[in-house]
Structure 1
Amino acid sequence: MTKLSVNVNKIAVIRNSRGGNLPDVVRAATDIERFGAEGITVHPRPDARHIRYDDVRALKRVLATELNVEGNPVPSFADLVCEVVPAQVTLVPDAPDAITSNAGWDTIRNRAFLRDIVARFRECGIRVSVFVDPDPAMVAGAAECGADRVELYTEAYAAQYAADRERAIAPYVAAAEEARRAGLGLNGGHDLNLDNLRYFAERIPWLDEVSIGHALISDALYYGLENTVSLYKRCLTR
């Protein structure tokens, strides 16, 4: 079964809007684990608008499942990752002022940089995933950079799903097949939700993991957090 990693950034957004520690990000993350998620994802940005570096340290101390830390590997981020040593780091080329991740790496143009940073993280014993668009050339480039996995940026799939799901999934299947050919693990994330997740996982049955935050936390407002985690896991059950 494809693993579910829940991104808890939005919980930190609510906390930060009022100061203090309500809601408690660490408590929410451990509850999410208890409800059945196989991992927790965080994306600390330089402006600390949601997850802060100290949140990453606190989560590492208590989580029993995999911690996935994603972000642009600027020096401070890289130092944090090597300090904390999560199970996985996901490299995302987002600008400091980006509202959310909006593109994958050009793994060919950035090959030298990615090779160096991937090697640094792997020396620490951290699995490295590179965030890419659904382009077989970018997937192959990630393999050449020494990555362990790629995470396919699924925003385009989600946007096109309602109109034509076959057309929406086609480039992702091609990219996923290239990942399998290259010996890479495969993750997916961005705008996956209860409507489109099952079909994505069914069409790419060798998908290792999905990382879902905004939609899942939003659904939890209606269905409750425990029930929502179960609903998403059900979409991944084959």
Structure 2
Amino acid sequence: MIINAIVTDIEGTTTDIAFVKDVLFPYAFEQLPDYVRQHVTDPDVAAQLDATRQEMGQPQADLEVVITQLLYWIDIDEKVTPLKTLQGMLWSHGYKNGDFTAHLYADVAPALHHWAAEGKALYVYSSGSVQAQKLLFAHTPVGDLTPLFRGYFDTRMGHKRDADAYRNIAQVIALPAEQILFLSDVAEELDAARSAGWRTLQLVRPGTEPCAGHLTVQAFNEIAF
């Protein structure tokens, strides 16, 4: 098969799910209330608070009600764009302060370097905000990997289990769908990508169950074109 672009998921694919669930999410949950209260007049934060009110259907909701809603969304891992944007702001603070370093499976960076050197166009598609994606790949144990990627996509492209999201991304990438390979650990995401005409591979990391209908690998270094 001819693959000219590779789009990778993050959680469960390049990065241990435990890092997101046990480090990033609890950090955001703990820090968000005070951060929002202290930065409520900052234009970037205010814009996301207004977007949260719109998502809630309560355009006049006061700040504490909005904070309660955001914490609830974190607790249930709701894929809501204003929450993801605010989380990215919080994680930026955490990375820069050295509160944590991003987890990356050992097989990921060598493969990304190899594919980039071969001329493959590399992209990220995650439910986390573009800002959060860039922060993660900029603060890995092996250094800043962001120069390897040509672009990043988040929920503004659409839901990851919706085929239209992958059609939207293909338009931005400007390549035929059959030349794009999507890497993920989630069957429903892979199904959606395949429905849009993409090639797919499931990463079966520890704790991931293989899904029917998609080729599977256990690590990036098993992927061959």
Instruction: Give the TM-score, by structure 2 length.
Output: 0.36
TM-score, with structure 1 as normaliser = 0.34
Higher strand share: 1
- Which structure would you say has the larger RCO, counting Cα contacts within 8 Å and 6 or more residues apart? 2
